Amino acid sequence: MTETPPTLLWLRHDLRLADNPALHAAADGPVLPVYILDDAAAGRWAPGGAHRWWLHHSLAALAAALERAGAPLLLLRGEAATLIPRLAAATGARTVQAGRLYAPWARARDEAVAKALEAEGRTLALHNSGLLVEPERIRTQQGKPYAVYTPFSRAVMALGDPPPPIPAPGRLKGVKHPCQGEKLAGLGLLPRQPDWAAAFPEYWTPGEDGAGARLRDFVDGIAEGYDRARDFPGEDGTSRLSPHLHWGEISPRQAWHAAGGIGDTTARQTFRKELVWREFAHHVLWHNPALPEQPLRAEYAKFPYQPDPALLRAWQRGQTGYPIVDAGMRQLWRHGWMHNRVRMIVGSLLVKHLLQPWWDGAAWFWDTLVDGDLANNSLNWQWIAGSGVDAAPYFRIYNPIMQGEKFDAGGQYVREFVPELAKLPDRWLHRPWEAPAEVLRGAGVALGRTYPNPVVDHEAGRARALAALRSLKGVE
């Protein structure tokens, strides 16, 4: 009897066993799971520092799960366009199963791999493992890609529930590795300065089990009132599923169907719309590959940004003098994550008050966010900059004082991440420069020494941003 040839399972951003269509397609016969760290192909979009910390621990969890299932994970480092065809030839695999990717560099790499495999009579089979709907499937009535979220959301919602998740396979039939793989530690994913990520494990549990636990905790306890609570950074009111979705430790189909258990109808719909916003980001990136690097509104290519390394550094370090902004930037550094409401506030301050290029903010987020997805990161920064599709108008400039007073009125968030202001009364917490001298002394705050004065006056920064906008022709 002729022995069934093995199938290569090329894992990328689908680091899970359950609801993994590529694994499901490969599980009928011998399977060789492989992960390749391919920084060369990714170029500037190779995983950032926080990404790499997460990836290390996610791969450890995945390797353990595959080992228990009977198909040990092969880890490699190098150019996948070379290694995948070589591995297929060495094992006799006729098919390579993989989850589909949407970043421009990944699409180009998949085309190269497919071409090399086809030359040898082999096939690269790509599956939708990371989205509810493939980006090219949703079109306007005119047959064009969507450029505005609301009608896109309606179109996705009109499709109804996605197919139910596929259960994890039972026992897998592994194959002997045809080459010496890398040890996980040898991939060099952990930060060289471990103190930076020291608090990450207190906040995150990478891997499929951690993703499932977080989803259950959200649905069972946090989701009630999600539509309101998600705006308040001092509360545990968000799902915090974004890094798990980014790395594919859980699928959007699993999240969508689990949301059916949320009794609060408004909260359930709000959460699902957040999943659809993620879909929209990938839809826009697919149809606009230059999204991470160029403004989608061409007129913004001439926007008069004023790059200033000192201002950028103050923002990165959480030393802008605006407490809600500084709390967000310090949360980012400590947890590798930032509350979504605060992301909008810090982005607005950087791009508008400080006139720093949006791509500098995006680059910092890319390196420090555990959930720094290329589609979401790019779309959201262009949204706040006013240069993207469905963008916030440039004249919509977040007031960091009012935002702090509205969404962190009791100061829980600022006091946690900006402890030098912790003793200030609520009245002055978000505007310490206006506090009477005796109040500052009583709280142990010395402006300019223990905490900075604002790097720019709000009204002056707002006026400068609007003047810069008016300098562009054709921008409303």
Q: How far is CA 351 from the centre of its chain?
A: 20
The token pair at 130 is 């990371």
Q: 336 with 369: CB under 8 angstroms?
A: yes
Q: 273 with 232: CB under 8 angstroms?
A: no
Q: How far is CA 286 from the centre of its chain?
A: 16
Long-range contacts of 442-446, Cβ-Cβ distance < 8 Å, separation of 24 or more: 444/420, 445/420, 445/421
Q: What are the φ/ψ torsions at residue 217 (nearest 5 degrees)? A: -60, -40
The token pair at 170 is 């039972």
Q: State the binding site.
A: 226, 238-242, 271, 371-373
Write the DSSP symbol of residue 94. S
Three-class secondary structure of residue 230 per DSSP: coil
The token pair at 231 is 């705006």
Residue 207 to residues 26, 146, 240, 247, 435, Cα–Cα distance (Å): 21, 33, 14, 9, 46
Q: Give the pairing type, strands 30-37 and 123-127.
A: unpaired
Three-class secondary structure of residue 132 per DSSP: coil
Write the DSSP symbol of residue 447. B
Three-class secondary structure of residue 451 per DSSP: strand
The token pair at 198 is 């020291």
The token pair at 474 is 């054709």
Residue 76 to residues 57, 93, 216, Cα–Cα distance (Å): 16, 17, 33
Q: What are the φ/ψ torsions at residue 70 (nearest 5 degrees)? A: 105, 5
451: β partners: 447
Instruction: Please tell me the distance from the alpha carbon of residue 197 to that of residue 189, in angstroms, as a whole number.
Output: 12
The token pair at 307 is 């790059």
Q: Which residue has the tokens 């790097």?
A: 455
Q: Look at residues 242, 470, 467, 276 and name the one whose alpha carbon lies nearest to residue 390.
A: 276
10: β partners: 34, 98
Q: State the binding site for FAD.
A: 226, 238-242, 271, 371-373
Three-class secondary structure of residue 8 per DSSP: strand
